[in-house]
Amino acid sequence: MLQITPVLAALKRHKVGTLLIGLQIALTLAIVCNALFIIHQRVTHLARPSGVAEENLLTVRNEWTNARAADLGALIHTDMETLRQLPGVQDVAVSYGYPLRGGGWESNLSIKPEDPSQAIAGARFFGDEHVLPVLGARLITGRNFRADEVRMLDSNNLSSPSVVIITKALAKRLYPDGSALGKPVYVGSSATPSTIIGIIGDMAGFSAGTWTDTTYDYVLLEPTVLIDRANAYLIRTLPGQLDTLTKVAPNALFKINRLRIIPDAENGGVRTFAEVRAHAYKDDRGLALMMGAICLVLLMITAAGIVGLTSFWVAQRRKQIGVRRALGATRNDILSYFLTENLLICMGGLMVGTVLAVGLSQWLVMRFEMERVSPLYVLLGAVVLLLLGQAATLAPALRASRVPPVEATRSV
């Protein structure tokens, strides 16, 4: 039983209060639906697969301080053998670049030599034949590198590799007809092609990228160890050994040769893959968390505001309520009066809020290169605010419905 006409008449006498609640609802809708949309996008981004068996994987960034280039192959070999001997270690690989490491090597790739119109940027991981099994990457078709294919090169003498392994996404981009295996790919500006010998499933590039990019799993692995760069030892541990090895592995390395740098974890030194992932997606998770907190507090504040103003109106109108009750209005009539009042204000606010929300979204699109908010989120925000408004009105409205008819005879 709605009482729209009298409600509207009464609202005209409380213009400012009405406007304030309406404005607050409008602004809250504008911010909340955009925030929810941002949260949704960031969470989707966060959930992208890394293509790595993330448990029981340890990464140790290692860099020599004054080793001669000629000795590096032997030094790396000794390190790997030492790490393999440690209890709890399943397998060890050496690699420059791994998924979500943060920063790495990117090259243009094409299926014809020096054809810039075709160039596709791909993340390049340089590693040995152990990288695939250690990362736990799934080979869909083809084969892994053989030990005899792995080269040791410094980055100023980088020739194109004879064989490469690429991700499914990259294979599809290069050869849309699905025939990538065994086909050539030109890496960088090389005139000699590399042969695709294996195709693996999804694998994240060297950074989490932005949530809009579509190229993040365009990854190419080549059987090369870059000896002039800071390599990483990737250690696949037996279950339950990860924490122990986090401490034991770097100490063991220092013990065989102290003239090396293993940076602190913040700079990519010794990190479990869980830490690598957490670091790569920190901005996304942080922004989603912050937006979530802001939404929650905003809704609470808005609810509190509605409770406050409605309580005031109820107190102000005790006498009128008493009169209505004396004239035969039921408790339910009074209750629904205030609920209707709030419903009308909310709907007005939500109409303005929808315009504001779209405007804010448009501004975010221009200023921050975001996507336009989906109407679903405006609708969701509107429903949440309507329910919130009704819930916030309920307590004062119940109090109003309990005003006795005898109040009509009392002075204020």
Partner 1 sequence: MFVYYFQLGMRSLRHNPVLTALMVIAIGVGVAASMTAYSVFRIVSGNPIPEKASQLYAVQIDNYGPQHNEKGEPPDEMDYTDALALQRTHKAIRETSLYPVLLSVIPSNPDLRPIRSDTYAMSADAFQMFDIPFLYGRGWSASDDQNRTPVVVIGRALNERLFHGANSVGQEINLNGYEYRITGVIDRWDPQPRFFDPISVGPFGDPIQLFIPMSRAIDQQLITAGHTDCPVENYGGGWDALLHSDCVWLLHWVELPSAADARAYRQYLQDYASEQRRAGRFEWPPNIRLRNVTQWLDYEHVVPPETSLSLYISLGFLLICLVNTVGLLLAKFLRRAPEIGVRRALGASRRTIYAQFLLEGAAIGLAGGVLGLVLTGLGVWSISLIFDAQIARLATVDLKLMALTLCVAVLAAVLAALYPTWRAAKVQPAWQLKIN
Give the footprint of partner 1 on this chain (CB under 8 A).
16-17, 20-21, 23-24, 27-28, 30-31, 35, 63, 65-66, 107-108, 116, 155-160, 187-191, 228, 230, 254, 258-261, 263, 266, 282-283, 286-287, 289-291, 294, 297-298, 301-302, 304-305, 308-309, 311-312, 315-316, 360, 364, 367-369, 411-412
Give the nearest distance from C-beta 121 to partner 1 in angstroms: 12
Give the nearest distance from C-beta 143 to partner 1 in angstroms: 27
Return the number of the residue (3 or 108) whose C-beta is nearest partner 1. Answer: 108
Pairing between β-strand 105-110 and β-strand 57-64 as defined by DSSP bridges: unpaired
Which among 203, 243, 52, 259 has a CA at the least distance from the CA of 135?
52
Q: Which two tokens stand for residue 132?
A: 């695939």
Return the number of the residue (123 or 137) whose C-beta is nearest partner 1. Answer: 123
Query: How many CB atoms sit inside 10 A of residue 233's CB?
Result: 24
Give the nearest distance from C-beta 136 to partner 1 in angstroms: 28
φ, ψ for residue 366, nearest 5 deg:
-75, -40
310, 346 contact by CB (below 8 A): no
Which among 215, 198, 195, 184 has a CA at the least distance from the CA of 113?
184
Q: How many CA atoms lie within 13 A of 189 on its CB side?
A: 1
Give the nearest distance from C-beta 398 to partner 1 in angstroms: 16
Return the number of the residue (139 or 230) whose C-beta is nearest partner 1. Answer: 230
Give the nearest distance from C-beta 32 to partner 1 in angstroms: 10
Return the number of the residue (75 or 199) whose C-beta is nearest partner 1. Answer: 75
Give the nearest distance from C-beta 293 to partner 1 in angstroms: 9
Return the number of the residue (4 or 293) whose C-beta is nearest partner 1. Answer: 293
Return the number of the residue (28 or 82) whose C-beta is nearest partner 1. Answer: 28
Give the nearest distance from C-beta 31 to partner 1 in angstroms: 5
Give the nearest distance from C-beta 307 to partner 1 in angstroms: 8
Return the number of the residue (181 or 230) whose C-beta is nearest partner 1. Answer: 230
Return the number of the residue (18 or 144) whose C-beta is nearest partner 1. Answer: 18
End-to-end CA distance of the chain: 29
